Amino acid sequence: MSSAVTGACFIVLPPNSREKSVIFGRNSSPADSEVQEVLFYPSSEAEDKVKCDGGAEIDNGPSFGLILQKSQQSGGSIWGGEFGNNEKNVSIGIIWSDGEPEPESQSLRSTDLVRLALERSSSSSDAVDKIGSLVSSNGCDSARFSFVICDPTEVWLLSVGGKLWAAQKIESGFQSLPTAGLGVSTSIDKSSEDLGDSLKTLGLWSGDGEVNFSNCFSCPATTENWPGEEPTGDGSYILTSMFETLRSAATETNRSSSVSVLSPTGISCHWFTATPNPKESVFKPFVFAPNPKISPLTKVLDGESVTLLQKLHAQRKPEAVLDLKNLEASCVEEVNAYLNENPTPTAELDELMKDCVEAEVKFYR
């Protein structure tokens, strides 16, 4: 078994967020990788089986388009991802995982579950059910995972212990989610069929009192304080507020950061640094436009060990940081103006992220 990833995850729901949006931010800290890729996968009608990183072979029917943040490890790029979004406005991120199955185990890793759920799910509730079904059929007995799953109207926290799972619906407010342990304890809104009986059969629960899922697996999660300025409940928390939250929470292990603003009435927009340390990185936007393109600079090319964007970012001059902040502010202003005036994305946004990556690179050369 190998340890996988942690993600410092922050969610803000109405009435804290503007225009009743759900805002989801994440700082990624993969355990075994220094490099993060950001890749786009268009929708597909493929029906062949796919072999996932944990070794399981899964029927791979029609899939939604998705953008995925993933680790480049010693054996190459993984198939799954740590965080991503699909064209149906579903966002999923790993909060914590441990006991990941090895490739020959015929099981699913947490990263496999992120990608499979994004490919197949039309809502966050649907994604919870999809992950639950996959865990029941292809889970690894010693694996422990927690995910946050969002769409524009619902947020779910889902925890997995072996082939059992439990999920809690988060109704409102804001939360800094725990980066260790199983986040779901006694508040359970969906779960494995006959969860209590299964836990008793495995000797994990006596049957007395209420089920505490995290304690049953000896993986209690701790409460995390909100870094920096907390949301105030008046609808003033916005995209750039989450940028500052992630920067306040940043550590040296952060390899990439991301923010999704999921709109119930307009266009959802997803922002990625694709470089380490959000305090010295710029967030770049992506929208599921008619034919989106990102950039080859966020992919590790054959024969390379890092993306070109990360290589140039590492070689940046100190004075470039201020230029990047100005670039980010200008980009946010322009994108927000477009989103406020257009109810649906057009071809004008096809190369939005690609253009922003290339604008960033100009400051490094």
pLDDT digits (tens, 9 = 90+) for 215-274: 999 999 988 999 999 999 999 999 999 999 999 999 888 889 999 999 999 999 999 999
β-strand pairing of 91-98 with 83-86: antiparallel
Amino acid at residue number 280? E
Is the pLDDT at 33 greater than 80? The verdict is no
For the stretch 81-84, contacts whose Cβ atoms lie closer than 8 Å and that sit 24 or more positions apart, written own/partner, are 81/111, 81/114, 81/115, 81/118, 82/5, 82/7, 82/28, 82/30, 82/36, 82/111, 82/114, 83/7, 83/26, 83/28, 83/114, 83/258, 84/114, 84/115, 84/118
Higher-pLDDT residue of 2, 199: 199
Our measurement of the distance from residue 359's CA atom to the centroid of its chain's CA atoms, rounded to an integer in Å, reads 25
Average pLDDT score, the chain:
93
Rounded mean pLDDT, 304-324: 87
Structural domain for 201, as ranges:
5-362
Rounded mean pLDDT, 181-203: 97
Give the lowest-confidence range in 68-77, 169-178, 193-202, 276-285: 68-77
Is the pLDDT at 119 greater than 80? The verdict is yes
Rounded mean pLDDT, 333-337: 96
Q: Give the residue among 277, 300, 283 at the shortest CA–CA distance from 23.
A: 283
Is the pLDDT at 200 greater than 80? The verdict is yes
- How many Å apart are CA 5 and CA 78, to the nearest integer? 13
- How many Å apart are CA 303 and CA 30, to the nearest integer? 22
In this prediction, residue 2 has a pLDDT band, given cuts at 50, 70 and 90, of: very low
3-class DSSP assignment, residue 25: strand
CATH number assigned to the domain comprising residue 183: 3.60.60.10
For 315-326, the pLDDT digits (tens) are: 988 777 788 889
Domain count, the chain: 1
Q: Please count the other Cβ atoms lying within 10 Å of the Cβ belonging to residue 193.
A: 9
In this prediction, residue 145 has a pLDDT band, given cuts at 50, 70 and 90, of: very high
Q: What pLDDT shows up at residue 32?
A: 62
Q: What pLDDT shows up at residue 303?
A: 85
Q: What pLDDT shows up at residue 311?
A: 94
% pLDDT > 70, the chain:
96
DSSP conformational letter for 252: T
In this prediction, residue 113 has a pLDDT band, given cuts at 50, 70 and 90, of: very high
Is the pLDDT at 1 greater than 50? The verdict is no
Q: What pLDDT shows up at residue 15?
A: 95
Is the pLDDT at 193 greater than 70? The verdict is yes
For 57-101, the pLDDT digits (tens) are: 998 888 999 999 998 765 567 899 999 999 999 999 999 999 999
Q: Determine contact, residues 10/16, Cβ cutoff 8 Å.
A: no
